[in-house]
Structure 1
Amino acid sequence: MSKRLEKGARKKRSSEDPHQPVRRQPDRFTASLRKALPTMQNVPSKTSIKTRQSLGSEEVVSPTPNGNIIVAAIDFGTTYSGYAFSFKHEFNINPLKIHGNEWRNVTQGQMNAKQQTCLLLTSERKLHSFGNEAKAKYLSLSVENKHEDWYFFWEFKMSLHQVKEIQGNYQLTAENGKKLDALTVFGLSIRYLKEHLLEVLHRSFSGVKDRDITWVITVPAIWNDSAKKFMRKAAEMAGITKSCIEIALEPEAASIYCRQLPITRDPQTETGMTKFPSGTRYLILDCGGGTVDVTVHEVLEDNNLKELHKATGGRWGGTVVNKAFLNFISKLVGTEVFQDFSTKHKSDYLEMLDEFENKKRMARPDSMEIVTIRIPIMLQDMFRGASNIPLNDQVVKSKYKDKVHIVGDKLRIDADLFKSFFDDSVRDIIAHVRDLMDSFPRPVKAILMVGGFSESPVLQKAVKDGFQKEVEVIIPLDASLCIMKGAVLFGHQPSKITERRCRFTYGVATVVSFDKEQHPEAKKIEIDGEELCNDIFDKHVEVGQTVVTGEAQSTSTYYPMSATDTVFPVVLFRSTNPDPKFVDDRGCECVGYYLLERTPGTRLDSIEVRLIFGGSDIVVESVKADGSVHRADFKMD
């Protein structure tokens, strides 16, 4: 028996190998495919696939142009975003010569290397502004009560982490309650940062063209394949040529940057400091505003890096601290009053959050000083209107009576209570790192703390208290910029990470000849008088397996269901299970599919399918019977 794609492959009779298993694609594909891709009307009725969460088609992937002279990285964060860039000739001389931009905080008059991730669109859904300017404009509109028709989005990046499979019509909700498709929101945000950088380049350098730039977009390592594909698509929507886009995993980018830094003591060197030597193993703890990524890398003799543990993590970033504070305020004034306040008085609400964000970044674990935050008079008035007593009287009656005081519009919070807002986030981070350290078979030399939340003294102390007796805890200068700068380095050398660990088991959906001793009756289907087992998960790589960047890890041969079929579909699934049997087992999800056209004929020609892992995207390489090679990625529709 021969392998068949689940699109629908017939059993190929072969005198040379009559017992080779038949593997085919499920027989529920044609209707979905025709609906999603109207041009594929010649797909035969037996062509099928189990799900249509992510759709793709044959498209040869072009390498990034060798002639690009600039690498630009867009670090698109949950809370803050920015960009950095460097020229190829500068990188060859000094890799750390990386340029950035200083953004003015309109409300505070400060200059920062990143600005808030906020997007403001007009009532006609046209881009008005991004970042600090968008926030300031929206606050001004709110004060004048003219904001209802405007679309304001903030902290929207985390929405991609919450969705298993992102469809093209996935929508985000603006502050006015209206919805807009997520691709537009992300695409316009990336477009703003791209065009701002181009303006800087065109103003400062003569003759620079868009095609001279390789663009790197950062994403959390724990995001699923669908979210990563979505960000690539958003970059394309922003006007970036597909062949000029690279996706960098945030902890990897930070690791590449830190690899360039002299961060360990060495009395034998002129400066007394040096980089990590070959053989050094270290843990990357990337704590951002939304997510926390953790992985382990080892320095190789050629100065490249390999991943020793697959990226893990969760939603334990700095926004968890913000939510704890908001929950505290909600308990203080009552859920109904707080919800009414946050909906009807956006300006006061957002200004209160901004002030807390500043106090959060300054909080020190050993401080016993009272923390003062302005509590809007409007919130106090709304509480009085709902309860007929002043808010300060309510505080005196509450469990916070010894820890909270209100003086005018000032909320004075006891130091221990303020630090307790960090508890949930810090606890989950420390517990996760401890589990990884205890399970990792080989000791690591250091923990590198990177990302914006890693600059919090409260989190730094917790990590040092938990692990400094076992390993060094290193917080690079400007930890919040390590990812952005590292993404620039990644763009110059995208193969710097030579080996990675798979986060999932990946395989192709197939069908095989039905065997009543092995297969459940519910999976039996009959086609042309032949009994087949549907939905087989044909494994290519296993969760935790080491994959070499850019190399095919396995090769399988597949056949069509019928000689008259006009396409070979390769449908990719992933699973958290190391050895799934069927593509609809618990923990299995469809990643996407790839269609390879074939010429109908009288014989069942085969294709070889190779999956290439190790990069931020998964690539399928197929070899037809005539020897022609086709390479494509799995795309969302």
Structure 2
Amino acid sequence: MSFLDYTIRVVVGIEFGVKYSSFAYAHLCSLNDIVVNDYWPECIGCVKIPTVLKYDESSNLMSWGHSALSQSQRSYRKKTSFDIKSVKLVENFLLYLSKMENKPYLPEGLDYKTAITDYLREMSNFVKDTLRTRWSDIDFYKNVLIILQVPVECDNKAKAIMRECAYNAGLISYKDSSNLYFITKHEAASIYCNMKVLREFNISVGSSFMIVDTSADAIDIIIRTLLENNELGDISGRIEDPCGGNSVDEEFLNFLSRKVGQSAINLLKENHYGQLQYMIKDFCENCKFKFTGQDRDFSYELDFTDICRAIIQYVKDPEREQMEYQEWLIDVTFEDIKAMFDPVIERILRLINTQLNAVSSCKAILLIGGFSQSMYLQKRIKEEFSQKVTNIIIPASPSMINVRGAVQYGLMLPEMLNKSTKLSITLRVFEKTYGIKTTRKWNPGDPMERKLPDGMINIFLRIAKQGDEIPVNTGISMIFSSSFLSRNSLDLFVTNEHDVKYCDSPGVSKIGILDISTLSILSNSAISVTLFFDNMKIKAIVQDVNVRTGWKYEKVFDNIY
């Protein structure tokens, strides 16, 4: 089944995020009418739903999304003691598809594939019901195209796992269904910004622009170039850092811990996670997204007896005596709130500045993602960069750009398939062996004449071997410690041999120098070099990953061979 059969009538974009998820849809008869769902169980008017599952002690699914976190505040007001139920809340399970070493906790007896399948099943059922109310004659498995947004780090193996889970969840009728496509948030955001946002600001062909995606759990910054025929150049720089909107929430909890004691916050998180999230939600709605940094009379009052009564039982003296005196009210002042924001925003400004310094010019900064709704963040970014960048753009509903972009991608697919563009899955073959020169400690088995004065030795580190086959939209990577680097560049070599030891071995030639001086490489970094095909040209991506902070910087080198 394909677009050539003209069976697709509705496109659904699903943002399956680590912290939050959403979906949007459009009918092919109304291409400009992309509808973002804002009606969820337990929450009307919300466009996103928490990526959370609740299981009982036997690992049977009890609820998902808002329902998994909701707890009746009224029931707590009627009790002087608090029952702790044997439930398992599961979050962050999508991170198991990444290559991170320290995977998040999963309860005993539950694996990540089960969690992904369970969540997709609930999402699938809800999407089907929603579409059925709009178009009763739609056959979901014949007439609906699903564009599923996956994390940027998902490789082919991770996508295969996601497809299997989608099939087991009933999202597609058979595993290899062509009615399911994957897209990354970078691709989705870039497509929507190009088609719906950049045109309004007359960004000219050849201009570079920056997308600053400030989600709940991280900030992700990429730079792209606008090409002719509304096409986009490859990502020429990327920084990712775990300083998203949740970082402000963490500062809020740190502030509360100084008022009620860290142990009270820990016990609340462990035993009444739903109330903790309800309290954070109230803080976000009434403080975080209303704070401008200008009105010094702005404040936020937290009443534990109304918002989070369960915490009262865990507060001990001397904090308890003080809170009883204050009648369990906390007045969060302007300065308190500003102190929660500033460390996070200062880090975001530094990251944006790093990206700007890495390009010759940037015509626009587009601020998207959930945290971009913060008026204080918007104000600080405009103050800092308005002299450097002509257009600082906050699109309407910035938190929905990615899911709208997924739908836009689906609406464009028929034309893209007919033009035989980059969706081709044809394999490309490396005709030669590629590697870089790195430095390691000299070992007794190495030639004595190659030993350097500092006890090291230069070697050929192979990345791609002659005969390796990969799809055009994937690459072959090599990850190594920054301690193997001796200068601010990487020398790239090629040979017809499958296995060589040294860069000056017979038949080895240097074909390029990858300048990495802008990567700010630190001693606790890991370096990733990826070779991939773009049409018939080979390109390289060098990525610097700070293993302590998770900060990533990425640079693309065009047409190296």
TM-score, normalised with respect to structure 2: 0.69
Counterpart CA distance in 2 for 1:257 and 1:244 is: 21
- Given the alignment, which residue of 304, 311, 314 partners 1:382? 314
Match of 2:14 in 1: 74
Does 2:301 match 1:367?
no
- 1:247 paired to 2:178: no
Within a 5 Å distance, the mapping from 1:43-442 to structure 2 comes to 67-91=7-31, 96-104=32-40, 106=42, 110-136=44-70, 148-154=85-91, 156-157=93-94, 163-164=99-100, 172-173=105-106, 178=108, 180-205=110-135, 206-221=137-152, 231-239=162-170, 240=172, 241-242=175-176, 243-261=178-196, 273=200, 276-358=203-285, 359-368=287-296, 369-375=298-304, 376-384=308-316, 386-387=317-318, 390-392=321-323, 407-440=326-359, 442=360
Write out per-residue CA displacement over residues 192-228 of structure 1, whole angstroms, 9 at most, x where no aligned residue: 1122111222343204231433222223436677766
Is the Cα–Cα contact under 8 Å of residues 507 and 574 in structure 1 kept in the other structure? no
Aligned residues of 1:341 and 1:349 also touching (Cα < 8 A): yes
Which whole-Å CA distance do the structure 1 matches of 2:253 and 2:139 have between them? 47
- Cα deviation for residue 445 of structure 1 reads 0.8
Which one of the candidate residues 348, 355, 376 is aligned to 1:458? 376
Tell whether the 8 Å contact from 1:103 to 1:114 is kept in structure 2 after alignment.
no
Question: Is the contact made by 1:78 and 1:155 (CA closer than 8 Å) also made in structure 2?
Answer: yes
Question: How far 1:476 moved relative to its partner?
Answer: 0.4
* Structure 1, unaligned runs of 5 or more: 1-61, 265-272, 394-405, 501-505, 513-518, 525-534, 541-554, 560-569, 592-609, 619-637
Q: Given that residues 476 and 532 in structure 2 are in contact (C-alpha distance below 8 angstroms), is that contact kept between their aligned partners in structure 1? A: no
Question: CA–CA distance in 2 between the matches of 1:448 and 1:227?
Answer: 29
Measured in 1, the distance between the counterparts of 2:156 and 2:142 equals 27
1:473-495: CA deviation from partner (whole Å, max 9, x where unpaired): 10001111111100111223366
Does the Cα contact within 8 Å between 2:69 and 2:273 map onto a contact in 1?
A: no
Question: Displacement of 1:252 after TM fit?
Answer: 2.5
Distance 1:72 1:344 in 2: 37
Show CA shifts across 1:556-611 (max 9, x none): 3379xxxxxxxxxx995433685689999x947899xxxxxxxxxxxxxxxxxx96
RMSD of aligned alpha carbons: 4.4
1:410 partner amino acid? L
Quote the Cα distance in structure 2 between the aligned partners of 1:236 and 1:522: 52
Cα distance in 1 between the residues matched to 2:318 and 2:53: 37
Structure 2: runs of 5 or more not aligned: 424-428, 436-441, 448-458, 483-489, 494-498, 502-524, 540-561
Q: Aligned ranges for residues 432-511 of structure 1 at < 5 Å? A: 432-440=351-359, 442-471=360-389, 472-493=391-412
Q: Which has the higher contact order (CA 8 A, sep 6+)?
A: 1
**Inter-partner Cα distance in structure 2 for 1:538 and 1:303:** 37
Q: Is the 8 A contact 1:508 1:538 kept in 2?
A: no
User: Quick one: structure 1 residues 121 and 367, their matched pair in 2 at CA, closer, same or farther if it must change by over 3 Å?
Assistant: same
Tell me, yes or no, if the aligned pair for 2:95 and 2:104 is still in contact at 8 Å: no
More helix by share: 2
* TM-score, normalization by structure 1: 0.61
Aligned residues: 455
Secondary structure of 2:216 counterpart: coil
Closer, same or farther in 2 for the Cα pair 1:214/1:139, shift >3 Å? farther
Q: Following the alignment from structure 2 to structure 1, what is the Cα–Cα distance between the partners of residues 309 and 130?
A: 42
Rounded Cα–Cα distance in structure 2 between residues aligned with 1:111 and 1:419: 28
Contact 1:74–1:216 (8 Å) recurs in 2: yes
- The structure-2 alpha-carbon separation of the partners of 1:219 and 1:430, relative to structure 1 and needing over 3 Å to count, comes to farther
- Contact 2:64-2:122 at 8 Å conserved across structures: yes
Letter of the 1:574 counterpart: M
Quick one: which amino acid aligns to residue 87 of structure 2? W
The answer to whether the 8 A contact 1:77-1:117 is kept is yes
Which secondary structure does the structure 1 equivalent of 2:234 belong to? strand
Q: 8 Å contact 1:81–1:117 — kept in the other structure?
A: yes
What is the distance in 2 between the residues matched to 1:583 and 1:354? 58
- CA displacement 1:252-291 (0-9 Å, x = unmatched): 3122112222566xxxxxxxx5653433321111111112
Deviation at 1:184, TM superposition (A): 1.5
Of the two, which has the highest radius of gyration? 1
- Offset of 1:322 from its aligned partner? 1.0
Amino acid at match of 1:100: V
